[in-house]
Amino acid sequence: MIVMKFGGTSVGSKVRFEQVFALISKAKAKEGPPLVVVSAMSGVTNALIEAADLAVKRNLDGALAQIDMIRKKHIEAVQGLFSKERADILLADLNALLNEIDSVLRGINYLGELSKRSIDAVSALGELLSSRVLAEYAENQGLKVKWLDARELMITDDNFGRAGPLFDEIGRRASSVIPQLVRDGFTVITQGFIGSTVDGITTTLGRGGSDYSASILGVAAGASCIEIWTDVDGMMTADPRIVPKAQMVSHVSFQEASELAYFGAKVLHPLTIRPAVEKNIPVKILNTMKPESEGTLIQAVNPPAIDDKLPKGPLPMSQSVCAIASKKNITALFIHSPRMLMAHGFLAKVFAIFDRHQTAIDLISTSEVSISLTIDNTTNLDAIKEDLSEFGEVSIIDQTAIVTVVGRQFRERSGIAGEVFSALKTVNILVISGGASEINLSFLVMNEDADRAVKQLHDHFFGA
């Protein structure tokens, strides 16, 4: 069994639903019935969150206008896919879901309060709508389909907005349901992004969480491969919006893909990698609009067929660098403290502050008396700065960007750093950090220098 996850642009219109159905049918004929995980139609999740925001600001008319827009978007797709009789039946079901959210928005408006729990209740609607449309269409076209509510499978904690999956419970539920349905010939269609607590309260995994859902459910159901269908050909040597001549990367290791995803390559959610790598399940990034494209294959390690083609010993420069990624709107903190000198446990105390404020550190660089580090979540920045001030002088620079060069055997290949900094001789570098994994070299620049840095690096390593 394979997992096929379709993103918002893949189910963004009548034509897209038809394309997705064709891909599912082809996969079924080749591999047997798949498990299909669906995102909301493009733009719907943003509209739902906007509706909640308008409602809490006492703009109920504006909030309901967003719901009407979502309703019209689905009506247009449904009326194009079904006969009038079938369309009317499905639209009645979809309207019932929309009316539930209408009531939630009225409650938010009346109370003037918007909790993370309420946001999850509202934003979960998009996936429920799109998956119903796809399931009904596939069944109408003759496919044997079972629609499952992901909230009965994807059990999470109650950290609303970014809920943590309860893997053991998910494994127990999914493994007892999905494999048997597939053996019985059903194509299983469910939702990404959403889940529920053990008490049945709706949660979400955070933006981009549909990829995570696909990976978790794939592991739980014993999938042989996880396919992420999106609107790009795969992972690229750089963001094509920055470097138009960026090339597709045909294969990367899980470690390389994780680094690229974390440091700005937005093709997949970084957490997608973790459940799959633990079970050695390959992940493919494929283009819904160009299904003939090879895409990118992500595996735990580069397969022997690839590694055997590489020269033994240190790789040549052209094969050392895999891709370049960037991540903007980063905040840098610089801590200067003479107390660090010859002191043990100092870093642990610093890390404890960030842990206490639930803030992840991206990069870190240290010297005898100073620490430079970066974060992308500034929610608790003031409190963090106050706590850090106990150890020394703290300065902050915002509007910075991380640029990362990802590749292979950086420790064994002499001259990588020299090549990087030669390519960036006109760019002011604030912080340098070498990854412990030997596959990345990251540095911090100002936001306005990030695109230029990526272009210059790509030109240097891959040609203009």
Structure tokens at 381: 């920045």
* CB contact at 8 A, 366 and 335: no
pLDDT surpassing 90 at residue 289: yes
The CA distance from 213 to 272, in Å, is: 8
CB atoms within 10 A of CB 303: 13
* CB contact at 8 A, 212 and 163: no
Residue 315 is predicted with a pLDDT of 44
Residue 311 is predicted with a pLDDT of 44
225-230 and 2-6: which strand pairing? parallel
Mean of the per-residue pLDDT values of the chain: 91
Residue 312 is predicted with a pLDDT of 45
Residue 412 is predicted with a pLDDT of 64
SS3 146: strand
Give the bridge partners for 286, in sequence order.
229
Average pLDDT over residues 236-257: 90
Residues in the chain: 464
Give the bridge partners for 296, in sequence order.
285
Question: pLDDT by residue (tens digit) across 193-215?
Answer: 999 999 999 999 987 799 999 99
Q: Which residue has the higher pLDDT, 4 or 339?
A: 4
Segment (H or E) for 459: helix 447-462
Give the bridge partners for 145, in sequence order.
187
Question: pLDDT by residue (tens digit) across 83-112?
Answer: 999 999 999 999 999 999 999 999 999 999
Residue 46, class by beta-carbon neighbours within 10 Å (0-12 exposed, 13-18 middle, 19+ buried)?
middle
Average pLDDT over residues 234-259: 90
- Residue 263's pLDDT band (boundaries 50, 70, 90)? confident
Closest Cα to residue 203, out of 279, 306, 127?
127
Residue 318 is predicted with a pLDDT of 52
The CA distance from 258 to 269, in Å, is: 9
Sequence-ordered alpha helix ranges (H) in 112-196: 116-123, 125-140, 167-183
Q: What is the largest CA-CA distance in the chain?
A: 78
The residue ranges of DSSP E strands in 87-238, in sequence order, are: 145-147, 187-191, 194-196, 202-204, 225-230
Average pLDDT over residues 143-148: 98
Give the bridge partners for 332, in sequence order.
374, 397
CB-facing half-sphere around the CA of 222: CA atoms within 13 A:
11
Structure tokens at 195: 């889940």
CB atoms within 10 A of CB 438: 15
Q: Which residue has the higher pLDDT, 408 or 190?
A: 190
Residue 306 neighbours by CB under 8 Å, 6+ apart: 251
The 8-class DSSP code of residue 153 comes to T
The backbone torsions φ and ψ at residue 263, rounded to the nearest 5 degrees and listed phi first, read -100, 30
Pick from 12-21, 315-324, 438-447: least confident: 315-324
Closest Cα to residue 350, out of 398, 389, 376, 377?
389
The CA distance from 34 to 1, in Å, is: 6
Average pLDDT over residues 245-259: 88
Amino acid of residue 407: G
pLDDT surpassing 80 at residue 313: no
Residue 266 is predicted with a pLDDT of 73
Structure tokens at 384: 């963090």
* CB contact at 8 A, 217 and 170: yes
Residue 126, class by beta-carbon neighbours within 10 Å (0-12 exposed, 13-18 middle, 19+ buried)?
buried
The CA distance from 434 to 416, in Å, is: 11
CB atoms within 10 A of CB 214: 32
* CB contact at 8 A, 335 and 391: yes
pTM: 0.85
Residue that is written with structure tokens 């349905």 in the block:
181
**CA torsion angle 231 234 240 244 (round to 10):** -110
SS3 287: strand
| 3-class DSSP string for 352-368 | HHHHHCCCCCCCEEECC
Residue 289 neighbours by CB under 8 Å, 6+ apart: 19, 231
